[in-house]
Amino acid sequence: MRLSHRVTSIPNASVSPLRARSTMCSSLNSMPSPSIIPMPSRPGKATADAMRDGCPCPLVRLTPLRRNARRKRLGKNASARSRSRGASGYNIASAMAVTLSERSEAMRQGKQYLALILLLTAGAGSRSWATLPLPPAAAMESITPAELRSHVEFLASDELGGRYVASDSIQIAARYLASRLRSYGFRGGAADGSFFQTFEIVVRRLLPDQSVLEIVTPTGRQRYTYGTDFIAFGGTGPVHLHTEAIFVRFGVTLPEWGYDDYAKVDVRGKLAVALLQGLPALEREGRALSASEYPVQRKIEAARAHGAAGLLLLRDAPGAGGMRGFRGAGLTPRITLAEEDARLASSFPILLAETRLTQDLLRALGLSPEHPLTPAEIPESKPLGLTATVTLAFETQRQSAANVIGILDGADPQRRNEYVLLSAHYDHLPARDGQIYNGADDDASGTATVLEIAQAFTIGERPKRSILVIFHTAEEVGLLGSKYFVAHPTVPVSAIVANLNVDMVGRTRAPNDTNPANRELADANTLYLIGSDKLSRELHELSEQTNRDTERFTLDYRYNREDHPQRLYYRSDHYNYAQKGIPVIFYFTGLHEDYHRPTDDTEKLDFEKMARIGRLIFATAWRIANLEHRLRVDTPPDGTRTH
């Protein structure tokens, strides 16, 4: 494991080698001097000649070969030729050998100089990021563990109740963030000049006492209770469904595998009943179908695609695991943007059966409910011979939510209309069963880090571009705050040059931690980066170089893979900006045992590491804000490279 090489102070810009930059001769003056080609410590004559002429580039005097040097070589060779041919003749063989030798030497030197030119011009397409200045030392050192802790202790306190978007307490958090930005010298970034971009959300709360499921068979009627026998997911509107129930095995449709559980039944307008766990035993090209290729969401999509009126999922091992964690999720309000509510409202119920309901339906299939099913026991898709009545009642409210936005204007009149966006989400989860979900890591840690970075930008000289800070709300309920901003931007979206998003950067895995839930939690010197190379190779290279120049984390890109099952690139606010073609980096330290639990508390955070992460992000944002050019977007959101 690589040791930490923490930078405790940043050298003065006037003497920092990172600011040193060579000016090339007129033919190469657009290229920075790559750090991999150092100038000689004792210049030779060619270099000295060039420097006397006002150009530090030794290529001026090294190519082409100087005529006087060539004359000297020819003069020496001429005397040798005279001795070999005598007074009256000319030795053709000697002359040819000398000519070939000269050409070989010229070609050898020419290749060397060409190689040097190629190395130099390589830097024109891939800038030497090490030559870019770092922020002032005082600004870097202003990001401290003590101040980070102070912010988190307030945001993750019991008094704020978890900062749920539909709660009153989140307004306290919003006012705190705005007051901090104002005190740092930021101006309000909302359309009305305030710090609050307000918008309407629609909140639907399921009413469990009025939500029931009834099964009618030829022998009688059975009533099932919400929260005990079943829960509901999805569906943002009231449901009253009375229809036939159809068993569809695993609920899988895979035409590319030649398999479809819906092929022999018609579920249009009916309730599809499928097994929650398990998949058919399919093989193709020597490999079996995996759960990651067909998650539950695809079962839901298949039911919708075949015209079902709803989907009821059965546990194939009744009672296994109970409904721990599911009951609360089923009662969590459904929240949509008010402007999208009519389009997104759905009466398609997705139900999860618990023990009693599962056992009754398995008996209706002629199966024994006392043990887990084997694939051989599962019957073909067929009608269950019963009618289901599903009633889901909701209470609907319209409420206000707010993104908190601040702007620090850039120092360069030519670039201050471009923005580097720093973001975090300040909302979390509602209280459940009398327990507060404080969300210290998710995402008080990111919010506190962005606050510290914002303050650092006001210490000393200002960057050329403007700094846009957005604390998004409603991230936990579908990235709604960032979704609203990109639809209603308060600065032109085209003017945002990059988004550095900070979400869950507070935890560190202890060396002796053997908990499987913490297996991918980053250690003390590791940081996960997601998305840095998705749209801009330049951003990725700048990020890597800045890390080498400052905190020297081990940067881990495992979550950046398209095939990673967590798909985190799509699960935080940066994604909505990436969809608009804005280069992004998502900073993250990993999932852990306290993720989305009431145990995500302040005392479990590593504030020393958070300060290092904050300094790295600050230095990265500083360099982006001071670039002479905008970051190049070489891979648009559709994935088509431009080079």
- Summarised one tens digit per residue, pLDDT across range 304-318 is 999 999 999 997 544
365 in a domain, yes or no?
A: yes
pLDDT value, residue 77: 43
Instruction: From 73, 108, 126, give the residue that closes a domain.
Output: 126
Q: Are residues 329 and 219 in the same domain?
A: yes
Q: Are residues 436 and 556 in the same domain?
A: yes
Q: How confident is the model at residue 237 (pLDDT cuts 50, 70, 90)?
A: confident
SS3 556: strand
Q: Are residues 481 and 380 in the same domain?
A: no
Cα of 444 vs its chain's centroid, Å? 17
Give first-to-last CA distance, the chain, whole Å: 36
For the segment 384-403, what is each residue's pLDDT rounded down to a tens digit? 999 999 999 999 999 999 99
Mean of the pLDDT values across residues 273-285? 76
Reduce the secondary structure of 421-489 to three states and give it as a string: EEEEECCECCCECCECCCCHHHHHHHHHHHHHHHHHCCCCCCCCCEEEEEEECCCCCCCHHHHHHHHCC
∠ CA 247-251-252, rounded to 5°: 145
Q: Are residues 310 and 418 in the same domain?
A: no
pLDDT at 95 over 80: no
Beta carbons within 10 angstroms of residue 40's beta carbon: 8
Q: Are residues 607 and 462 in the same domain?
A: yes
Residue 22: give the domain boundaries.
Answer: 17-126
CA atoms within 13 Å, Cβ hemisphere of 268: 3
Mean of the pLDDT values across residues 465-488? 97
Q: How confident is the model at residue 255 (pLDDT cuts 50, 70, 90)?
A: confident
Mean of the pLDDT values across residues 223-243? 86
Mean of the pLDDT values across residues 117-126? 43
For the segment 534-544, what is each residue's pLDDT rounded down to a tens digit? 999 999 999 99
For the segment 549-582, what is each residue's pLDDT rounded down to a tens digit? 999 999 999 998 877 778 889 999 999 999 999 9
∠ CA 379-382-383, rounded to 5°: 130
Q: Are residues 114 and 177 in the same domain?
A: no
Share of the chain above pLDDT 90, in %: 58
How many Å apart are CA 340 and CA 346, to the nearest integer? 12
DSSP code of residue 498: E
Cα of 239 vs its chain's centroid, Å? 36
Query: Taken in order 34, 36, 37, 42, is the CA torsion positive or negative?
Result: positive
> What are the backbone dihedrals phi and psi of residue 164, each rounded to the nearest 5 degrees, phi first?
-70, 140
Residue 310: which H helix or E strand, with range?
strand 310-314
Cα of 633 vs its chain's centroid, Å? 16
Are 449 and 148 in contact by the 8 Å Cβ rule? The answer is yes
pLDDT value, residue 433: 86
Query: Looking at the 3D structure of the chain, how many domains does it have?
Result: 3
Q: Which amino acid is present at 557?
A: Y
pLDDT value, residue 219: 80
CATH number at residue 586: 3.40.630.10
Please state whether the predicted TM-score (pTM) of the whole model is above 0.85. Answer: no
Are 454 and 184 in contact by the 8 Å Cβ rule? The answer is yes
How many Å apart are CA 588 and CA 595, to the nearest integer? 13
Q: Looking at per-residue confidence, does 46 or 306 come out higher?
A: 306
Q: Are residues 621 and 498 in the same domain?
A: yes
pLDDT value, residue 414: 94
Q: How confident is the model at residue 287 (pLDDT cuts 50, 70, 90)?
A: low
264 in a domain, yes or no?
A: yes
Q: Are residues 421 and 492 in the same domain?
A: yes
SS3 152: helix
560 in a domain, yes or no?
A: yes
Q: Are residues 316 and 331 in the same domain?
A: yes
Q: β-pairing, 283-284 with 287-288?
A: antiparallel
Q: Count the helix, strand and coil residues of the chain and give each as a percent rounded to the nearest 5.
A: 35, 20, 45
Name 344's Cβ contacts closer than 8 Å, sequence gap at least 6: 236, 336
477 in a domain, yes or no?
A: yes
Q: Are residues 196 and 218 in the same domain?
A: no
How many Å apart are CA 383 and CA 386, to the nearest integer? 8
